[in-house]
Amino acid sequence: MQKTRTVFYCKECGYESGKWLGQCPGCHSWDVFVEEPKQKKTTGSARPITVRNEAISLSMVSAEDDERKMTGIQEFDRVLGGGIVMGSLVLVGGDPGIGKSTLLLQVCKELSGRMKVLYVSGEESLKQIKMRADRLGSFGDSLLAISETCLETINELADQIRPDILVIDSIQTMYREEVASAPGSVSQVRECTSLLLHMAKQKGITIFIVGHVTKEGTVAGPRMLEHMVDTVLYFEGENSASYRILRAVKNRFGSTNEIGVFEMQNTGLAEVQNPSEYMLRGKPEGEPGSVVAASIEGTRTILVEVQALICKSNFQMPRRTAAGTDYNRVNLLMAVMEKRLGVELSFCDAYINVAGGMKINEPALDLAIVLAILSGYRNIPVDGRIIAFGEIGLTGEVRGVSQAEQRITEAAKLGYTTCILPYVTMENMKNPAIRLIGIRNVKELTAIMKE
Ligand code: TYD
Ligand code: MG
């Protein structure tokens, strides 16, 4: 009997290996190798693309932005870098149930009427798609939907229909006949994506691919196709909270720090135009351990509340957690405080939380974290009309941050009256809208707390 040759693939990044490995040399994740039949030949992208392939002077190429199409959903357009680039391949990743299908169906809804849209679902029947669509409102006639999982059939269909926009929901349910392994396996996902890439580039169709992020199981994650697509968007949020954040992690046509904020309602996703107000909803007044920080995400400022709960530890190793910000950064800041301010944090449990569930890794958050910890430790509340931002170095110095004016303007707009910021940043400010307190070192915070 002929033995089928198998190889091992990393289901995170697609790394191929002849034998099983504990750790992937490609992405350094542990226990991610799965055994799959070996592909005889690479297909899809390996095929010659029969477009005119000759070198021409770059100055002759027109790259005007008329190739971009606005969807009308502002938050979505902004994350894409100012609308959809026609002919691009976009991956929308996220946990199951986060709202990827809903978001893309809403995008289809906005575009239908203006463009020919084909929505392919491998997960839901036409009836289920219709039920969801009915909740979202009325659709134009140029939206076609099909429940199908064979990519060759979809390719033929695309040849007949010639859509402008194609949505594949989801890549893990699609399969190609010539690939032996099951849908969702590393080789299927990779081969399917390369065919989609081929379709996007040769036929000029804009393709949105939905990819589920999987923590366990044998389904290949979307990370292994990140390098093949033009744009990677991740849709994230807490399942318990109703807001969702769309984040660009790779974008060949725009910046990657942009975020879009949505709220899941019973009629679909609604745009959140002013995230600061949204994030600060329900903020306690006059409680210790709560400080508002101004953070920049992409091109806009978001005010968030940093909370710190500090209490005496009953363990030899105090418990420390950081939700919504970097755990190691919090530990480092606590070490700086211990050394430079002389507060005995090593006997305390510390729970740090960025309220609202946003994840912020900007160093400008440091000052607010330190202030919240100090306020929590001393049990003295920080005035509710104060905001803080600034980076803290290892000697306790407070270092300058960028876009200070933008942060202060947002704070003034929301009624804050005082801002604690790095001294060097304050020096360059002219006509500030609110009172500024510039500090050089964390030691100066002690005096401010007493004010
Ligand atoms: P869905 O788009 O199916 O998630 P994904 O495609 O990422 O797996 O979203 C599913 C969730 O959204 C589900 O829990 C119900 C909720 N939802 C609403 O709250 N309101 C709505 O109008 C819709 C369509 C869904
Ligand atoms: Mg879905």
CA–CA distance, 390 with 412 (Å, rounded to integer): 17
Ligand 2 center–CA 99 separation, angstroms: 7
CA–CA distance, 219 with 76 (Å, rounded to integer): 27
Predicted confidence at residue 67, as pLDDT, reads 74
CB distance 386 to 291 below 8 Å = yes
- Assigned CATH class of 68-272: alpha beta
Residue nearest to atom 14 of ligand 1 (CA): 97
Residue nearest to atom 25 of ligand 1 (CA): 268
CB distance 421 to 386 below 8 Å = no
Ligand nearest to the CA of 96: 1
Q: What is the pTM of this model?
A: 0.79
pLDDT above 70 as % of the chain: 92
Give the number of the atom of ligand 1 that is nearest the alpha carbon of residue 105.
Answer: 2
Contact residues of ligand 1, CB 6 A cut-off: 94, 96-102, 132, 135, 264, 266-268
CA–CA distance, 175 with 162 (Å, rounded to integer): 21
Predicted confidence at residue 116, as pLDDT, reads 92
Predicted confidence at residue 101, as pLDDT, reads 94
Give the mean model confidence (pLDDT) for residues 263-289: 88
pLDDT digits (tens, 9 = 90+) for 194-217: 999 999 988 889 999 999 887 665
pLDDT digits (tens, 9 = 90+) for 413-444: 889 999 999 999 998 888 888 999 999 999 99
Ligand nearest to the CA of 244: 1
pLDDT digits (tens, 9 = 90+) for 395-416: 999 999 999 998 998 899 889 9
Helices (H), 112-169: 126-136, 151-161
pLDDT at 289 over 60: yes
How many beta carbons lie within 10 A of that of residue 55, not counting itself? 5
Ligand 2 center–CA 405 separation, angstroms: 41
Q: Is the dihedral of CA 258, 263, 266, 270 positive or negative?
A: negative
Residue nearest to atom 18 of ligand 1 (CA): 266
Helix (H, G, I), strand (E, B) or coil at 361: coil
Helix (H, G, I), strand (E, B) or coil at 246: strand
Ligand 1 center–CA 98 separation, angstroms: 6
Q: In testing the pocket of ligand 1, which one of 208, 240, 245, 264 has its CB within 8 Å of the most ligand atoms?
A: 264
Give the mean model confidence (pLDDT) for residues 151-164: 93
More confident residue, 219 or 208: 208
More confident residue, 123 or 55: 123
Ligand 2 center–CA 423 separation, angstroms: 49
CA–CA distance, 100 with 94 (Å, rounded to integer): 7
Residue nearest to atom 13 of ligand 1 (CA): 97
Give the C-alpha distances (Å, rounded to integers) separating 343 from 290, 334, 339, 381.
18, 9, 8, 17
- Matching CATH number, 278-450, of 3.40.50.12280, 3.30.230.10, 2.40.50.140, 3.40.50.300: 3.30.230.10
Q: Which amino acid is at 323?
A: A
Ligand nearest to the CA of 93: 1
Give the mean model confidence (pLDDT) for residues 121-147: 89
pLDDT at 3 over 70: no
Give the mean model confidence (pLDDT) for residues 65-74: 81
Residue nearest to atom 20 of ligand 1 (CA): 266
Q: How confident is the model at residue 48 (pLDDT cuts 50, 70, 90)?
A: very low
pLDDT at 181 over 70: yes
Q: Which residue has the tokens 């049990």?
A: 379
Ligand 2 center–CA 133 separation, angstroms: 13
Give the mean model confidence (pLDDT) for residues 282-287: 88
Give the number of the atom of ligand 1 that is nearest the alpha carbon of residue 136.
Answer: 22
Ligand 1 center–CA 279 separation, angstroms: 22
Ligand 1 center–CA 267 separation, angstroms: 10
Assigned token pair, 192? 């399917």
CA–CA distance, 392 with 398 (Å, rounded to integer): 5
Give the C-alpha distances (Å, rounded to integers) separating 121 from 73, 111, 204.
22, 18, 21
**Nearest-5° Cα angle at 181, 175 to 183:** 35
Ligand nearest to the CA of 242: 1
Residue nearest to atom 12 of ligand 1 (CA): 99
pLDDT at 55 over 90: no
Residue nearest to atom 1 of ligand 1 (CA): 99
Q: How confident is the model at residue 277 (pLDDT cuts 50, 70, 90)?
A: confident
Return phi, psi of residue 204, to 5°.
70, 25
pLDDT digits (tens, 9 = 90+) for 292-319: 999 998 778 889 999 999 999 998 899 9
Ligand 2 center–CA 285 separation, angstroms: 40
Ligand nearest to the CA of 95: 1
For the chain, the average pLDDT equals 87
Give the number of the atom of ligand 1 that is nearest the alpha carbon of residue 102.
Answer: 2
Q: In testing the pocket of ligand 1, which one of 98, 100, 102 has its CB within 8 Å of the most ligand atoms?
A: 102
Assigned token pair, 261? 């904020």
Contact residues for 33 (Cβ-Cβ < 8 A; gap 6+): 8, 9, 10, 11, 17, 20, 21, 24
Give the mean model confidence (pLDDT) for residues 352-375: 91
Ligand 1 center–CA 102 separation, angstroms: 6
Predicted confidence at residue 38, as pLDDT, reads 79
Predicted confidence at residue 240, as pLDDT, reads 67
Ligand nearest to the CA of 134: 1
pLDDT at 41 over 80: no
Q: How confident is the model at residue 59 (pLDDT cuts 50, 70, 90)?
A: confident
pLDDT at 49 over 50: no
**Nearest-5° Cα angle at 316, 311 to 321:** 50
Give the number of the atom of ligand 1 that is nearest the alpha carbon of residue 94.
Answer: 7
Ligand 1 center–CA 407 separation, angstroms: 34
Q: Which amino acid is at 59?
A: S
The domains of the chain are located at 6-37, 68-272, 278-450
